[in-house]
Chains A and B, each alone.
Chain A
Amino acid sequence: MIEVSSLTKTYGKKRGIDRISFVVEEGDIVGFLGPNGAGKTTTMNIITGYLSANSGAARIGGVDVLEDPVEAKKKIGYLPEQPPLYLDMTVEEYLNFIFDLKLVKDLKRKKHLNEICELVGLTDHFKRLIRNLSKGYKQRVGLAQALIGNPEVLILDEPTVGLDPKQIIEIRNVIKNLGKNRTIILSTHILQEVSAICERVLVINNGQIVADDKPENLSALITGDRKLTVRVSGPRDSVRRVLRGVEGVQYAEATIQAERGSYDFLVEAQPNVDIRKPMFSALARSGYPILQLKSMELSLEDIFIKLVEEKKKSYVSTSKQGKKPKSDLHVNVSESTSADFDDIAPLVTKNEDEPEIDVSRTDDQTF
């Protein structure tokens, strides 16, 4: 349905994307995952015909976006990074305008608009001026706009940005349902989002695709990591000493003071070792009660960082032989106490005292 071959786009001297190629089959939901400045928006702008690539081609349903733009654009619903809204219109006026703009012919106007508003939860805001809507509702209007005319392909640039956790889950479900009979590409910084919605993920970094797989296969790529967060009541240094003394613990560090007199610790086990029981016994022996124990599943977040790290390592080891590549990087998986917020963890959170992995660099060829 969507064929992208060797797209390259430079902004002046700055590289936007570099030889990006992929194919998306009809009915797939594909996620673009990558840090700021990776090239997600650029790729989407090219697919939708807003920008032109320096080289390469994009085809929608066999139609080249450059050769027959009008025909290609008819097939696409696009939600840009910043929803393109006319603030001086009401939701109703705006969606009617889009209906005309997209030359929708074969649908009943009123019924179609009502269905879309129902779907994205805008029905109660139909008569409101867009200027007065909250950010989340503006985002919904942007999404509604993309859905008008039932396009075969949906391109959604960070569709859940600006929504509150409850709305995020709602909109993800909407997208997932839409994906049953549509081809969708969406972009996000949030790893949980791709595993929640997408059947396939393209990891983009620094203008290139660094991985292309199913979310679950990506997790299988890397095994052996095992991370726990444990909240222990007791003095920080002594608890840390106890934790580090447990057999099988590779790394233990306090992260935050969680409650009065207790700290959260990030504990990492050696590969294939279950440290929970020995850790419990050790802490119990020392008289430091465990208040909370959470195991941190290997998330796409780790995987992403691993992928970038792998690339970096292989580059460093091939190009600068003799100099040992930085190893022993620990990545602090972001965590939260509320299940609702679990889904919206930011891409990378670093521990202060750890070596920095610059995943957001855009200007050199390290990766």
Chain B
Amino acid sequence: MSAIFKRDLRGYFSSPLGFVFVAAFLIIMNLAFYVTNILSGKENLKTVFSVMLYGLIVVIPILTMRTFSEDYKQRTDQLLLTSPVKASGIVLGKFFAALTVFLIGLAFTVIQVIVIAAFGTPNMGSVIGNYIAVIAAASVYIAIGVFISSLTENQLVAAIASLGIFVGILLMDFSYSLVRADWLKAILYWVSLYRRFNTFYLGVFSIADFFYYISISAVFVFLTVRVLEKKRWS
């Protein structure tokens, strides 16, 4: 697993992909920061994290589109699948490589937080809580993106399909306030990655919601492992 992790991490930065991801992420973050904080003159950390959460919709597909698709195309999946590594090791290696690139991008946003802190007095505990929660939420996106990538050898298809699914999740989130039926509300709340985040914005670290994100990530990692194992029977 560590060999695959290292190889993929290196792969992100031996091609433009890793840089494109980090750049796209930071552009979105800085634009939003400029608009919401500097123009309005308010120092508001909540907007930083909510923009981040929405920004992931666009940037995570860039990060994950290649994970398996590229291997299928170059037939390197054959190398991985005939090496003495379990399918779960392959998936986790790739998943954590993508997550690490995300963390690199995320690290740059710390500058914004410091700027805000200089103007106001943000609660440090809440900031750290929000960071942890964003990482957990991002891991859901990444797990979904990796899963989609394991289904096709076409990167572009993987990217567009991931984007479509992320937008779909967002739309379900929007429709939450529009529907009346309680049971439907309950379902929409359950699948919404955003509504759940409200507790974190408020400065409360909700262990339950944190584990929700981790479990959904685990489900998609598991599904990806199944896809790899089933490929043998094609």
Contact = CB atoms under 8 A, between A and B. Distances in A.
Interface of A: 11, 45, 48-52, 69-71, 73-74, 76, 78, 80, 82, 84-89, 93, 97-98, 100-103, 145
B3 A73 contact: no
Interface stretch (B30-38, B81-89, B103-111): B81-89
Contact of A86 (B7, B78, B81, B234): B7
Given A78-B82, A101-B7, 11 more contacts: A11-B234, A49-B81, A49-B232, A51-B234, A70-B84, A70-B86, A78-B78, A84-B76, A85-B76, A86-B11, A101-B83
A84 B84 contact: no
Contacts, number: 71
Nearest to A74: B84
A82 B75 CA distance: 7
Interface string B10-23: 11001100000000
A91 to B, nearest CB: 14
B74 interface: yes
B183 interface: no
11 contacts: A11-B234, A49-B82, A69-B86, A73-B84, A78-B82, A80-B78, A84-B77, A84-B78, A85-B76, A100-B2, A101-B3
Contacts of B83: 73, 101-102
B6 interface: yes
Interface of B: 2-4, 6-7, 10-11, 14-15, 74-86, 232-234
A52 B232 CA distance: 5
A279 B86 CA distance: 67
B181 to A, nearest CB: 44
A85 B82 contact: no
Contact of A100 (B6, B14, B80, B232): B6
Given A88-B15, A89-B14, A50 B81 contact: yes
Contacts of B86: 69-70
A242 to B, nearest CB: 55
Contact of A101 (B11, B74, B85): B85
B232 A50 contact: yes
A164 B29 CA distance: 54
Which of B80, B84, B233: most chain A Cβ within 10 A?
B84
